[in-house]
C-alpha cells in the first residue's frame, strides 16, 4: 500500500505576512487522514511557515537546493541548511531546468545529497509540447530518469512527479489517460533502474494545472499516488479539496 501525497509548490509567491496567513488557513489539512501533505514555500518564508504548521502534521519542502553541504556558492541553499527546517525537497522542476539550466547530472548529485542529509526528494520530470507532438514523450521521460537516478541507491517510497511542461500554468492539464500512461512508464523504468521493490513502492504524482475540479480524474488512476500542485495550492480551499480528494480516492 502506497501512502498518497499532496504537495503544494508555492513557487515565488507570498510575502512573509501572506505566507503566514496562508499557513493558518491550511489548518484543516491536519484532519485529512491517509495522505502525506507537504507544502513548499519560498526560502525566506520556509522557517516562518514551518513554525506556524509545527503541530499540524503538514510537512515542509524546499523548492530546490545545492548539492554541496557547505561552500562558496553565493545565493544557494545547502541540504545541510535545508534539513534544519524541511524534510522534503523538490528537484528538477521544469522551471529550474528551463530558466536555470539544470541538467540530469546536476540532479543526480542533488538527489544523492538529499539522501545523505535525510531529505526526501521529489524528482520532477516531463516533456515539452514539441516533444509530445513529435511522439518523443517516452524517450524524454526515460532519459530524464536514467540521467538522474542511474547508479544511485534509491529508497523504497521514492517520489517522482510527472509534470508535462506544456500543462504547467496553462490551464490545459493532461488527461487522466495521458498521466496514467506516463506513470506506468515511469514505474517500468524504475524497475529497470532500481528493481521491482523500488518501482512498486514509488509514489508517482501528477502536476500541471491541477485543480479541485479535475483532481478526481488523476487520483483515480492506478499508478498515480497524488499531485504536485502549483497555483491552486495558494488557495487554501482549493488545496484542501485536492488533498481530500486524493485521500478519498486512494481509500476507495
**pLDDT, tens digit (0-9, with 9 covering 90-100), for 129-172:** 999 999 999 999 999 999 999 999 999 999 999 999 988 887 88
**Where does residue 143 rank: exposed (0-12), middle (13-18), buried (19+ CB within 10 A)?**
middle
Q: CA-CA distance, 236 to 24, in Å (whole number)? A: 9
Is residue 237 part of the annotated active site? The answer reads no
| pLDDT given at position 175 | 94
Q: What is the mean pLDDT of residues 161-187?
A: 93
The one catalytic residue among 59, 95, 102, 163 = 163
**Three-point CA angle 90, 33, 185, nearest 5°:** 45
- Whether the CB-CB separation of 88 and 40 falls below 8 Å is answered with yes
- Whether the pLDDT of residue 252 is over 80: the answer is no
Helix spans in the chain (H): 16-25, 43-52, 79-82, 94-100, 104-116, 129-133, 137-149, 176-194, 196-201, 215-219, 236-251
The one catalytic residue among 66, 93, 95, 112 = 93
Percentage of residues in the chain with pLDDT exceeding 70?
99
Q: CA-CA distance, 152 to 123, in Å (whole number)? A: 13
* Nine cell digits for residue 155: 529508497
Is residue 163 part of the annotated active site? The answer reads yes
| pLDDT given at position 67 | 97
| pLDDT given at position 168 | 86
* Nine cell digits for residue 53: 504548521
Q: What is the mean pLDDT of residues 237-244?
A: 96
Q: What is the mean pLDDT of residues 122-132?
A: 95
14-40 pLDDT, tens digit each: 999 999 999 999 988 989 999 999 999
**Three-point CA angle 159, 85, 235, nearest 5°:** 70
| pLDDT given at position 221 | 96
66-103 pLDDT, tens digit each: 999 999 999 999 999 999 999 999 999 999 999 999 99
| DSSP for residue 176 | H
Residue-wise over 10-31: b if at least 16 C-beta within 10 A, else e? Answer: bbebbeeeebbebbeebeebee
48-62 pLDDT, tens digit each: 999 999 989 999 999
State the average pLDDT for the chain. Answer: 95
- Whether the CB-CB separation of 239 and 215 falls below 8 Å is answered with no
Amino acid at each position: 500500500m502506497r501512502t498518497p501525497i499532496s504537495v503544494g509548490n508555492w513557487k515565488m509567491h507570498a510575502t512573509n505576512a501572506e505566507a503566514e496567513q496562508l499557513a493558518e488557513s491550511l489548518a484543516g489539512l491536519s484532519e485529512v487522514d491517509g495522505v502525506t501533505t507537504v507544502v513548499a514555500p519560498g526560502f525566506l518564508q520556509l522557517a516562518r511557515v514551518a513554525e506556524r504548521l509545527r503541530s499540524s502534521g503538514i510537512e515542509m519542502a524546499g523548492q530546490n537546493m545545492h548539492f554541496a553541504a557547505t561552500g562558496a556558492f553565493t545565493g544557494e541553499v545547502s541540504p545541510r541548511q535545508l534539513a534544519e527546517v524541511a524534510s522534503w525537497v523538490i528537484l528538477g522542476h521544469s522551471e529550474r531546468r528551463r530558466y536555470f539550466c539544470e541538467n540530469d547530472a546536476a540532479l543526480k548529485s542533488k538527489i544523492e545529497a538529499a539522501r545523505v542529509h535525510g531529505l526526501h526528494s521529489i524528482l520532477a520530470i516531463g516533456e515539452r509540447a514539441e516533444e509530445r507532438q513529435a511522439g518523443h514523450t517516452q524517450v524524454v521521460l526515460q532519459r530524464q530518469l536514467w540521467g538522474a537516478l542511474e547508479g544511485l541507491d534509491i529508497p523504497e517510497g521514492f517520489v517522482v512527479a510527472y509534470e508535462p511542461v506544456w500543462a504547467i500554468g496553462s490551464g490545459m492539464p493532461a488527461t487522466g489517460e495521458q498521466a496514467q500512461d506516463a506513470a506506468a512508464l515511469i514505474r517500468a523504468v524504475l524497475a529497470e533502474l532500481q528493481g521491482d521493490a523500488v518501482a512498486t513502492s514509488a509514489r508517482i504524482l501528477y502536476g500541471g494545472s491541477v485543480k479541485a475540479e479535475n483532481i478526481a480524474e488523476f487520483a483515480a488512476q492506478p499508478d498515480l499516488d497524488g499531485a504536485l500542485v502549483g497555483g491552486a495550492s495558494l488557495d487554501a480551499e482549493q488545496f484542501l479539496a485536492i488533498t481530500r480528494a486524493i485521500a478519498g480516492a486512494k481509500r476507495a
